[in-house]
């Protein structure tokens, strides 16, 4: 799409199918990571500290230029930088397949399942699916400038949500008010309602509209200024509110519509006078609305439906973005289609919108087994929708039945497991990782070390790398591949 770099970060749940397991989920996560790097040699592990919570060997970059690592015990996959929706969907699917194949090769498939969702029904924990969008440094990164973005994000869950049974308990977090941090109970915010089903998994866990921290005070927009690119030219919009999507269509529409709204804001064309009175409260009320009226109160005291608000954004995008490239026109057409279908029977959305697909499956099961929504079996089926094992996951059952439209092909996903997109700097980083795997440096991935205090053989970050004996090699422009420059740099190292 036009002037846009996309990226996804996905944290996976791990479900153990044993009443009294000998090992913890974290133990299995370590085994899966080690198999990917040590046995399959899918990439190179970090040999340096990336932070206080990322010691050497915690994770590393892959040959497709993405990353796999452990985050608070969870396996997490970060896609490479992508310049198209096709690439980002394929790269996202590649991460799922990489991890599932490791489980199969390890012989763990009957013992554990990787669940691509955002909640643990037992502990009430949540794990994220973070979205990254590159914007110009001139982007109006202020509360006023991003007001249209907040309105769009709060209401887009009607087609991006993955759905869940029940609701979360009151969040142990703090809300920022001017320069003060106050508990959510100050505003009467509460969860734990006896809800049968809601359309978003993450909504209950968001407590701020803007905030710098990622954990415990999750915000709609994370305000940490970490562009991972030239800070004079770029800023990275980092979103925490989204659900992990199984449907390729939902992933593409989520990223594509958000990218177009960012463009409208950058160009000064975003719809005005749609600022929501209480964005976090509205986010949760939309998700929990059992009648699916999805009403929102604006600061003007006017009430609008999330559907009407989304159509206002669509109208602006049609006026200012239509015809600029093929992917944009696909997003606009599908955006219009899904909004139209949301006004009718939700079953029209099966295969395209995750919450609708899941709700239909659960309703069919409830009717056939004569269950009420409180039956624990429904929470189990909720998780199975997100199971990455193609023989067990309910989403993949819909796929086999021909109910799910594809945006990629299996062959393309297999390529994305090995290769980076060829039109971003990920391509150059991929060449570096493959070079290191070829045996240039004495890399013992089983024993990450910083060589007794000396500089390790290599250090790789998103926007820079350094190989021992050579100066750092910066890659500040995500739109450049740096392929020839990286190859020349590495050849000079050999020389």
What is the H or E stretch that residue 284 is in? helix 279-288
CB burial of residue 376 (10 Å; 0-12, 13-18, 19+)? exposed
How much is the average pLDDT of 465-479? Answer: 95
- From residue 259, alpha-carbon distances to 95, 303, 338, 370 in Å are 22, 26, 17, 43
How much is the average pLDDT of 460-474? Answer: 95
The partner residues of 78 in beta bridges, in order of sequence, read 9, 67
Q: What is the largest CA-CA distance in the chain?
A: 73
pLDDT band at 172 (very low <50, low <70, confident <90, very high): low
The answer on pLDDT for 157 being more than 60 is: yes
Q: Is 172 or 180 the better-scoring residue by pLDDT?
A: 172
The partner residues of 198 in beta bridges, in order of sequence, read 164
Alpha carbon distance 259, 252 (integer Å): 10
Give per-residue pLDDT as tens, 176-189.
Answer: 454 444 555 444 44
The torsion angles phi and psi of 85, rounded to 5 degrees, stand at -70, -35
The contacts of residue 141 (CB under 8 Å, 6+ apart) are 223, 235
Alpha carbon distance 138, 145 (integer Å): 11
The answer to whether the predicted template modeling score (pTM) of the entire model surpasses 0.85 is: yes
Alpha carbon distance 95, 105 (integer Å): 16
Closest CA to 92 of 105, 80, 109: 80
Extract the tokens encoding 392.
Answer: 């067990």
How much is the average pLDDT of 389-398? Answer: 97
Give per-residue pLDDT as tens, 425-454.
Answer: 999 999 999 999 998 654 444 444 444 456
Cα 255 from chain centroid? 10
> What pLDDT is recorded for position 260?
98
The torsion angles phi and psi of 232, rounded to 5 degrees, stand at -80, -20
CB burial of residue 402 (10 Å; 0-12, 13-18, 19+)? exposed
Cα 322 from chain centroid? 26
Extract the tokens encoding 450.
Answer: 């910083």
The answer on pLDDT for 175 being more than 70 is: no
The answer to whether the CB of 8 falls within 8 A of the CB of 67 is: no
DSSP codes joined into one string, 313-374: HHHHHHHHHTTS-HHHHHHHHHHHHHHHHHTS-GGGGTTTSHHHHHHHHHHHHHHHHT--TT
Q: Is 72 or 485 the better-scoring residue by pLDDT?
A: 485
Alpha carbon distance 389, 104 (integer Å): 9
> What pLDDT is recorded for position 188?
45
pLDDT band at 494 (very low <50, low <70, confident <90, very high): low
Extract the tokens encoding 315.
Answer: 């109208």
Closest CA to 79 of 71, 63, 67: 67
Q: What are the contacts of 373-377 at 24+ separation with CB within 8 A?
A: 373/165, 373/196, 373/197
> What pLDDT is recorded for position 214?
54
> What pLDDT is recorded for position 72?
86
Lowest pLDDT segment from 68-77, 121-130, 440-449: 440-449
Question: Which of the residues are catalytic?
Answer: 71
The answer to whether the CB of 9 falls within 8 A of the CB of 236 is: no
With tokens 């696909």, the residue in question is: 330
How much is the average pLDDT of 284-299? Answer: 97
Positive or negative CA dihedral for 338, 342, 343, 344?
positive
Alpha carbon distance 34, 31 (integer Å): 5
Average pLDDT taken over every residue of the chain: 92
Alpha carbon distance 103, 31 (integer Å): 9
The answer on pLDDT for 304 being more than 80 is: yes
């Amino acid at each position: 799409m036009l002037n846009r770099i996309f990226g996804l970060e996905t944290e996976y749940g791990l479900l153990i199918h044993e009443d009294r397991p000998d090992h913890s989920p974290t133990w299995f996560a370590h085994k899966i990571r080690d198999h990917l790097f040590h046995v399959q040699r899918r990439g190179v592990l970090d040999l340096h500290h990336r932070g206080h919570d990322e010691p050497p060997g915690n994770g590393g970059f892959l040959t497709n230029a993405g990353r796999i690592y452990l985050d608070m015990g969870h396996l997490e996959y970060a896609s490479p930088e992508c310049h198209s929706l096709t690439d980002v969907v394929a790269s996202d699917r590649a991460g799922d397949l990489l991890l599932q194949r490791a489980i199969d090769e390890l012989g763990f498939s009957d013992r554990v399942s990787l669940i691509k969702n955002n909640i643990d029904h037992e502990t009430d924990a949540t794990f994220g699916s973070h979205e990254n969008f590159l914007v110009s440094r001139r982007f109006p990164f202020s509360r006023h400038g991003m007001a249209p973005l907040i309105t769009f994000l709060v209401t887009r869950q009607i087609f991006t949500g993955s759905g869940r049974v029940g609701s979360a308990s009151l969040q142990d977090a703090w809300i920022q008010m001017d320069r003060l941090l106050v508990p959510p109970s100050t505003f009467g915010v509460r969860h734990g309602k006896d809800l049968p089903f809601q359309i978003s998994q993450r909504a209950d866990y968001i407590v701020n509209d803007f905030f710098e921290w990622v954990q415990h005070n999750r915000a709609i927009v994370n305000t940490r200024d970490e562009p991972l690119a030239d800070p004079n030219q770029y800023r990275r919009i980092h979103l925490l509110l989204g659900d992990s999507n199984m449907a390729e269509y939902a992933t593409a529409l989520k990223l594509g519509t958000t990218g177009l709204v960012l463009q409208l804001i950058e160009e000064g064309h975003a719809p005005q006078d749609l600022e929501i009175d209480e964005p976090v409260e509205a986010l949760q009320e939309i998700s929990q609305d059992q009648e699916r009226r999805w009403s929102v109160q604006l600061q003007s005291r006017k009430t609008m439906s999330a559907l009407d608000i989304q159509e206002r954004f669509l109208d602006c995008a049609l006026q200012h973005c239509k015809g600029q490239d093929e992917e944009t026109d696909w997003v606009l057409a599908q955006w219009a289609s899904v909004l139209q279908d949301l006004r009718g029977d939700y079953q029209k959305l099966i295969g395209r919108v995750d919450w609708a697909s899941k709700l239909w499956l659960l309703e069919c099961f409830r009717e056939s087994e004569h269950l009420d929504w409180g039956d624990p079996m429904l929470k189990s089926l909720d998780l199975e929708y997100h199971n990455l094992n193609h023989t067990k996951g309910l989403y993949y059952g819909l796929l086999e039945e021909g109910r799910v439209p594809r945006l990629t092909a299996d062959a393309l996903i297999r390529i994305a497991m090995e290769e980076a997109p060829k039109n971003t700097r990920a391509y150059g980083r991929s060449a570096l990782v493959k070079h290191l795997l070829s045996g240039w440096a004495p890399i013992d991935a089983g024993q990450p070390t910083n060589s007794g205090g000396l500089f390790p053989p290599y250090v790789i970050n998103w926007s820079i790398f350094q190989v021992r004996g050579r100066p750092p090699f910066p890659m500040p422009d995500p739109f450049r591949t740096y392929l020839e420059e990286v190859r020349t740099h590495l050849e000079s190292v050999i020389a």
